[in-house]
């Protein structure tokens, strides 16, 4: 019998990435929903949906991810990232479903100089990171059968992301400034989607928090520079400091994730960031 996998936030970037590879896994039956089909902030709707479908796994990709807007829309961020996560976790527990909750490097304050392990102290700097962290807490409290997967700097050929923004600006401008003092690991969302499906297929009960990002660490400036190099765009790119690029929400200066736990547990081979970027760019073209 096929396992049914519910993917919330199905029209978001990660949801679309899972959709794009779903037909490669015939043993799984995927249900993709967005907020028009399933409002995860409505507890009754979530419970009714789970009871109407035989859900074996849920990948909760639904999230309020607008980092700066979250500072001004705290209630909406709380509803989606905390209440929504609680509702999903509660429904999973009641229906015997396993849960993969997507989380973020923004749960850390960026004051480390070593890649963050799952056990390292969390200390989010803004509303987005705080609500995602509180969502993790709700998942752990309400659904023992959980995998929380924190990731960083997601991009792909789908949705809105840094890579696509750079490609657009690169076609419009001859000069651009990008911050050079925030260090992290760009993550191709297709790679993450494949890792999530690997977790489902292995079907272990080694629940807990895991970190996933592509290998290597760079700045946003380095990321942009490589995008333009790989697309043969010779625009003038200038490095600037975060303090010279004002944003409502403070970003962690260093948010590289240690991925050794997830690679060991699920036998994953994680690509190097530049290889995945080249792959993504070839699909955009």
- Give the integer Cα–Cα distance in Å for 174 and 215: 30
Structure tokens at 200: 């489902």
| Strand bridging mode 28-33 / 3-8 | parallel
- Pick the catalytic residue from 64, 128, 210, 254: 128
Angle, in degrees to the nearest 10, between helices 162-172 and 220-230 = 60
Q: Which residue, among 50, 6, 14, 54, has the nearest Cα to 32 in the 3D structure?
A: 6
Strands 175-179 and 208-211: unpaired
CB atoms within 10 A of CB 100: 23
- Burial degree of 269 (CB within 10 A; 0-12, 13-18, 19+): exposed
Structure tokens given for 140:
């752990």
Question: Cβ contacts of residue 284 below 8 Å, gap of 6+?
Answer: 157, 163, 164, 167
Structure tokens at 148: 């929380």
128 flagged as catalytic = yes
Both structure tokens of 213: 């990002």
* Alpha-carbon span 205 to 228, nearest angstrom: 43
Paired residues of 240 in beta bridges = 179
For β-strands 175-179 and 98-104, DSSP reports them as unpaired
List phi, psi (to 5°) of 121.
-65, 135
User: Known catalytic residues?
Assistant: 128
């Amino acid at each position: 019998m096929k396992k049914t996998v519910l993917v919330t936030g199905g029209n978001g970037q990660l949801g679309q990435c899972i959709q794009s590879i779903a037909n490669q896994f015939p043993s799984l039956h995927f249900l993709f929903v967005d907020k028009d089909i399933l409002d995860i902030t409505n507890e009754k709707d979530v419970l009714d949906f789970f009871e109407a479908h035989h859900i074996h796994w849920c990948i909760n990709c639904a999230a309020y991810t607008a980092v700066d807007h979250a500072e001004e829309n705290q209630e909406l961020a709380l509803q989606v990232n905390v209440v929504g996560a609680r509702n999903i976790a509660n429904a999973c527990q009641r229906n015997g479903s396993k849960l993969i909750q997507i989380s973020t490097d923004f749960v850390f304050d960026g004051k480390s100089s070593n890649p963050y392990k799952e056990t390292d102290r969390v200390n989010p700097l803004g509303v987005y990171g705080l609500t995602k962290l509180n969502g993790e807490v709700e998942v752990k409290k309400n659904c023992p059968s959980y995998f929380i997967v924190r990731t960083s700097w997601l991009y792909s050929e789908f949705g809105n992301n840094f890579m696509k923004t750079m490609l657009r600006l690169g076609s419009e401008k001859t000069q651009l400034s990008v911050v050079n003092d925030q260090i992290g690991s760009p993550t191709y969302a297709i790679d993450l989607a494949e890792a999530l499906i690997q977790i489902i297929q292995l079907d272990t009960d080694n629940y807990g928090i895991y970190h996933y990002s592509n290998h290597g660490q760079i700045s946003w400036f380095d990321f942009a520079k490589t995008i333009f190099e790989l697309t043969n765009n010779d625009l003038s790119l200038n490095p600037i400091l975060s303090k010279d690029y004002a944003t409502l929400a403070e970003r962690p200066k260093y948010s590289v994730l240690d991925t050794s736990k997830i690679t060991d547990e699920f036998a994953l081979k994680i690509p190097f960031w530049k290889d995945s970027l080249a792959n993504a760019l070839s699909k955009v073209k």
